Structure 1
Amino acid sequence: MTQAIPRRSGEWILVVEDEPRLREALAELLVRMASDFGEVVVAASGEDALALCRDASPSVAFLDIRLPGMSGLQLAEVIADETRIVFVTAHQEFAVDAFEQGAVDYLLKPVTAERLQACLDRLRRRDRAAAGELQKFLRAFSAPSPPTYLRWLTASAGRRTYLIEVDDIVYLKSDSKYTRLVCRDSQHLIEESLKKIVGRLDPERFRQIHRSTVVNLREVLLVERDDTATGTGLVKFRNHPEVVRISAPYLRELRMFLV
């Protein structure tokens, strides 16, 4: 629940946290330890916090990163020009070092009095961060991470479990609810459908050539069209003698891709 704020020129602290217990605990610590920063005001969502900031910006905002609706990162981008930002989260992610070295601080839940004191001391020592520097950190943190694709698959046979490097796979073929992995020197059957695996493979490396077959493009030697009028073809590999069929919808796309 938000607390109404009259129009003011003095300093105040904003706490935005959707979990009531954590919100009140942090607010109580700040009332005791940060009276020189002004009144402590709380909000349960980014939208509520924005409403509180319409008349006056807080000097410091303690923002939970994961909030319903508008995230703490999105809120920070709106208010950062006038406000020093401290992110509060239960997840220690890749940007921690950037925040620690930059203009914003970063607190892990549950926030301890000792860690909060260090944060407040830092805020007291520093001037307000330049908007450009803060925006740089925000962009680095909120930019989408590059997709990560499968590097390994495991296949079990009796009491043995094989670790298969995706780069060694020549092609994958659907086999009912299983998938057959055909490698240069071996074959394996795994209990996972081809449909589920395809979405986790690098599309620049693996292409579907049939509704039941996906090939490793680095292993493809050539694509050959049939003499018939079916529009289908054959795929031959560099390091494997087997030949697999390519259906008509995929033939033109794959031939153009390999040119």
Structure 2
Amino acid sequence: MNTVRALIADDEPHLAQYLKTQLTQLWPELDIVAVVKNGVEAAAQIAALAPDIAFLDIQMPGLSGLEVAQGIEGATRVVFVTAYDEYAVEAFEQAALDYVCKPVKTERLLRTIERVKAALRAAPPEPDGALAATLQRLLQEQQPAPPRLRYVRASQGELMHQIDLAEVLFFHADEKYTVVQTQNAEYLIRTAIIELMPQLDPEQFCQIHRSTLINLAHLAGTRRDEASRLFVRIKNHARELPVSRAYVHLFKAM
């Protein structure tokens, strides 16, 4: 097996260091490429480094481990590190999600390592709608719903505008900024897509790509190209937006 690369995310530095030490002892071939202290950093480093495994603490500032996992593109396998109660652990087992409980015990971590090794030897799985649905359900059951935005303050040149979210066609990441697209104009905000998503009503906005959220009220339809890649069309807007493989399942009925 080629070198396996891993990331650890935990907002408690001593626990992150303990897990790193344990992994180094139990799996010497493992290359730990990053240790981060919150969910936002974890999401950014997973996107940049594409590790084979991400050990994600469930409860982190910025974004929870579940929220980070929900936004992962590619083949990074997630192992949740959790201090949750018995009910949550049962949910992880039913969904066949890898996890270890805090405090991390050597025997349990060894079992997780063997399970992950076996999974990595197998062919990479196709993006699974059931997994995305399970993560969404766990988020709803384990966390109180955050307050939802009704307006967003965004800049256009030197002016700041307050934009009703009903007028937003889509949000799209553009280097350091996120573009807020309405029917008539583009505006800019500094909030990253992954930070913006939990503040939006999931009945109104849908993620279709790591860098794109669309307003479902403005969805006109979908199209597949000759390579079977999926694109969405937005009402009163010429641009088509690509749907990444992780979110194709959301449009199977269309």
Larger Rg over CA atoms? 1
TM-score normalised by the chain length of structure 2: 0.49
Pick 1 or 2: higher relative contact order, CA cutoff 8 A, min separation 6.
2
TM-score normalised by the chain length of structure 1: 0.48
